[in-house]
Every structure is written in C-alpha cells, then in structure tokens.
C-alpha cells in the first residue's frame, strides 16, 4: 500500500494560536515554562541546532500541521516526520510504501519485537535551493522494554522504536521514535530524514489526541 504523506496542501494560515509562540531560534533550551503557559497542543521541536515551541495549527486524518510564530511549519503523520516548510533544508514530502500483508498498521504500531519492512521515498530542498529525492529500504522494530523518557512537561515510560533507512546510493540513516506501550502513540523522536541531512528532534509538550 502506498501512502503519500505530504503537507503541500496545507494553507499557511493566520491562526491566532500561532501568535502565542516565537520563531525557532539557535539553541535547543528549556521551553517548559512556555509550554506550561500556553494551553494548546504543542511540541518542543529542534532542527540543526535551532529550536523552540510549535503549536498545532491544523489536523486531518492523522496528519498534523505545527507552526512557530514565523510560520515555520512541521508536518507529522501520527507523530512520524513528513515534511517542513519555511526553514532551511526543507523536507518536501515523504512517501511510505507498505507491504500488502501489513497495510492495516503503520510500522510504529506493530507488536513489540516484530521487524517491519517497508519503503520510504523522500524529496528535500537544500540551503542552496537545489531539490533532491531518493528512496530507501526501511526497517523498524519496537522494543518491549519500557524506558523512562523525560519530555517537556512530564516523564513517561515509553517503548523505543528503531528505524533504519538504507538508501539507493549506499548511505544509511537512523531514527528513533518512542511510543506509549498501550496506545502506541509516538511521544518523542530523533531522526535524520535523508543522507547528510540535519538532525531533527521533538517531543510532545501538550498532546492533541
């Protein structure tokens, strides 16, 4: 099954919630006080050493759109990294191809200890304006062990899911997602979306589900 996970149809709006947060700034410091003050769904997000709090601007069928005060936008699918807009090194789109035998669940929703195989295709734009795309054979396995993870506003016991992307040019990138044991929702992530791409991290400050 082919899933095109892209945020290109999102209208970058004037949602007044966006005015409650700032732009992504150099550094990945503590935003807990800001998250505590703002009573809206939010993420602590950082990319290539720039970070801050972003709030939920729109959602549809599991796809969520998050924005900073400068309309820098991050798109997630059930917590999985999909695309960005308005920032250097933009991830333009993500496409997952799932085997028909496992098309009813996403890789991060699989039973603990089960390795899921799938394919990822991505397109991205570099700081010099050039656009590239590539495909990778992907695996993800979620572990049964519960790890204590400190998030922006809480500490939770979560299961670690390790993703490996083996790209057509021979490069390999790795990502880690942490999910809740019962609902298997992603609460935290650290990912490199493409070869030599920037490291991206986020965790859920205030949940939206």
- Per-residue pLDDT tens digits for 71-110: 789 999 999 999 999 888 899 999 999 998 877 899 999 9
Residue 39 vs residue 156, higher pLDDT? 156
Q: How confident is residue 9, by pLDDT bands cut at 50, 70 and 90?
A: very low
Q: What is the mean pLDDT of the chain?
A: 88
Given a cut of 60, whether residue 16 has pLDDT beyond it is: no
What is the chain's alpha carbon radius of gyration, rounded to the nearest angstrom?
16
pLDDT of residue 174: 98
Average pLDDT (202-206) is 96
Highest mean pLDDT among 1-5, 28-32, 49-53, 159-163: 159-163
**What is the three-class DSSP state of 108?**
helix
pLDDT of residue 43: 95
Which distant-in-sequence residues (6+ apart) come within 8 Å of 42 by Cβ?
21, 35, 53, 54, 55, 56, 66, 205, 206
Do residues 180 and 13 lie in contact, with contact meaning Cβ atoms separated by under 8 Å? no
Which distant-in-sequence residues (6+ apart) come within 8 Å of 182 by Cβ?
none
Q: What CATH number labels 2-8+15-100+107-206? A: 2.40.360.10
Distance CA 65, CA 131 (A): 22
- Can you tell me which residue has the tokens 């997630």? 76
Token pair listed for 29: 């410091």
Task: Give the pLDDT confidence of 110-128 residue by residue, as tens digits.
Answer: 999 999 999 999 999 998 9
pLDDT of residue 51: 84
As to burial, measured by CB atoms within 10 angstroms (0-12 exposed, 13-18 middle, 19+ buried), residue 43 is buried
Given a cut of 50, whether residue 39 has pLDDT beyond it is: yes
Distance CA 72, CA 12 (A): 9
Token pair listed for 145: 């062990």
pLDDT of residue 72: 87
Do residues 192 and 198 lie in contact, with contact meaning Cβ atoms separated by under 8 Å? yes
pLDDT of residue 20: 46
What φ, ψ does residue 86 adopt, rounded to 5°? 85, 15
- Percent of the chain with pLDDT strictly greater than 90: 70
User: pTM of this prediction?
Assistant: 0.88
pLDDT of residue 2: 52
């Amino acid at each position: 099954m082919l899933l095109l996970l892209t945020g290109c149809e999102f209208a970058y709006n004037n949602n007044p919630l966006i005015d409650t947060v700032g732009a992504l700034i150099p550094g990945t410091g503590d935003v807990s006080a800001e998250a505590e003050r703002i009573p809206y769904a939010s993420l602590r997000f950082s990319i290539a050493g720039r970070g801050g709090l972003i709030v939920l601007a729109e959602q549809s069928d599991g796809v969520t759109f998050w924005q900073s005060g400068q309309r820098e936008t991050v798109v997630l699918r059930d917590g999985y990294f999909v695309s960005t807009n308005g920032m250097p090194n933009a991830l333009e789109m993500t496409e997952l191809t799932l085997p028909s035998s496992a098309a009813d669940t996403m890789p991060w929703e699989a039973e603990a200890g089960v390795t899921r195989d799938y394919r990822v295709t991505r397109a991205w734009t570099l700081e010099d304006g050039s656009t590239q795309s590539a495909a990778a054979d992907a695996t993800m396995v979620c572990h049964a062990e519960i790890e204590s993870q400190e998030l922006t506003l809480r500490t939770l016991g979560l299961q670690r899911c390790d993703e490996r992307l083996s790209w057509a040019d021979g490069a390999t990138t790795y990502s880690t997602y942490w999910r809740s044991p019962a609902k298997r929702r992603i609460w935290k992530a650290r990912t490199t979306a493409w070869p030599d791409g920037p490291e991206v991290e986020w965790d859920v400050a205030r949940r939206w589900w």
